[in-house]
Structure 1
Amino acid sequence: MLVSDAHRFLFVHVQKTGGVTIDGLLRPQLADARSVDGLTRHARLDQILSAEPDLGDYSIAGIVRNPWARLLSWWSMVERFRELAEQGAPKAQGFLSGKGFLAVVAREYADFEAFVLRGTLERPRLRTPQLAYLSTPTRRADFIGRQETFDADVATLVARLGLPPVAQVPRDNASAPRDHRDAFTPKMRDRVAEVFADDIEAFGYTF
């Protein structure tokens, strides 16, 4: 996440939605940019407000993504780290030899089908709706952009903060584009629809 007290602004970083790009874009321009002590960068809004209740009065923003495309992007990151590790890249080897989430996923799920069908059952992080990151029973993000309209929504976010317009939005930590519809069997497709029903209803996503 990213907090600016001067701008009374909180950005909630949902995994695989472009949050690394937004952080890299905004943090250098917000002199007081900070995180919330004790929380990971992917903390949910309820966790953030539990740690710092006053942030509920700030302008809150986040980005969401088509759930099927998001899971494919997540798996593509795992594959990328595997390939780099096999090529001898020290950073990737370090990640995959550890006890972190990425290492566990890479070891336990041999392919994308297992990642979707078993992973969403066994790993709470993989089945948490994006809406759960961006809302609580009493508060919801004021601005929810979409990865599908990323450039336009980043421009809107920058304008809301009163920052200079961005000539070209970079792509940090991005996987190579793939059509998610080619990667899912009917059973996998239906599993995602079940797990992320809240996102599909809230944001109107379709396969």
Structure 2
Amino acid sequence: MSSAAPSPEVFRTRPGNRRRYTPDAQAEVDRLTAAGEESGWLSPLAYNLTISHSHRFVWYRVAKVATRTIRHHCETHGVSMDVDHAMRVRYPLTAFADYYTFAFVRDPLDRFVSAWHDKVVDHNYYDFDPATHERMQVVEEFARWTAAQDLSAVPGTDQHLTLQSRMIDLNRVDFVGRLETFDRDFAEVCERIGAPAVPTAPRNQTAPGGRDRRVSDELRELVAHMYRRDYQMFGYEVPA
């Protein structure tokens, strides 16, 4: 078995299924996995990735943080998404060592309330039974349910609730932008990858700034506890 580093261009997702690697890409992952963990070929953890070979970037996608807006911008301005919407995949570290890596994060309380509105109030994304779904219309109830989960587990926890710090390879990311300063930060990313820095209206109506700041003390405490690592890593002010 060859131990040569793979070409980054091998890694693509399927035209008919943008969440899965092509057979050739999956075979390469399998080859690297078989080489053993000690080889260090693959990232130790899995991430949700979008990769462009034409513009040489790796985007660590964080759900509920302008993902539709960024993807729409890429589609509109001819930026290839060769790995389009890969879910929970490991990637070869050496192959992408010279690719620009970025991610966007958001105030954890804003993100949690946005997820609740979208996935519980507007939809029954978590397939709750009718009585439970009715109870979950109260955001504190949903927060209590969420608090019982391991939010660092990937796979295992829904991507809309997972710790943002777990969805980014923090040892290798070049730039972490914020939703709160999206226009400025995304313009910096566009300049770096060679894409037009054209302001784009958010594709998700809850972003940015979609949360009413008048929230209960219980919700603040629950979110502060659940997302303590995100507050620490990204410097957001813990809700008080």
Q: TM-score, normalised by structure 2?
A: 0.64
1:60 to 77, 88, 101: 101
Structure 1 residue 105, shift from structure 2 partner: 5.7
Measured against aligned partners, the alpha-carbon deviations of 1:32-58 in whole angstroms (never above 9, x if no partner) come to 322268x32xx4xxx332xx4423542
Higher RCO (CA < 8 A, seq sep 6+): 1
Alignment counterpart, residue 13 of structure 1, candidates 61, 74, 85: 61
Q: Deviations over 1:90-128 (max 9, x none)?
A: xxxxxx4xxxxx242686434211111212324733653
Question: What is aligned with 1:135?
Answer: 169
Q: Deviations over 1:74-98 (max 9, x none)?
A: 112135634xxxxxxxxxxxxx4xx
Q: 2:146 aligns with which of 105, 119, 139?
A: 119
| Other-structure match for 1:2 | 50
Alignment check: 8 A CA contact 1:121 1:127 kept: no
Distance (Å, rounded) in 2 between the aligned partners of 1:111 and 1:193:
18
Q: Matched residues, percent identical? A: 25
More strand by share: 2
User: How far has the Cα of 1:198 moved from its partner?
Assistant: 1.3
User: What are structure 1's unaligned runs of at least 5 residues?
Assistant: 83-95, 97-101
Cα contact 1:4–1:10 (8 A) shared by 2: yes
What is the number of residues matched between the two proteins?
177
Distance in 2, Cα, partners of 1:28 & 1:179: 28
Alignment of 1:34-113 (within 5 A): 34-35=82-83, 39-40=86-87, 43=88, 47-49=89-91, 52-53=92-93, 54-78=95-119, 81-82=122-123, 96=124, 102-104=125-127, 108=132, 109-113=136-140
Structure 2, unmatched stretches of 5+, are 1-48, 151-156
Alignment of 1:120-199 (within 5 A): 120-122=147-149, 124-125=157-158, 127-135=161-169, 139-166=171-198, 168-175=199-206, 177-183=209-215, 185-199=216-230
Larger radius of gyration: 2
- Computed over aligned residues only, the root mean square deviation of the Cα atoms, in angstroms, reads 2.6
Q: For the structure 1 residues 31 and 144, does the alpha-carbon distance in structure 2 shift closer, same or farther, using more than 3 Å as the test?
A: closer
Distance in 1 between residues matched to 2:75 and 2:178, nearest whole Å:
20
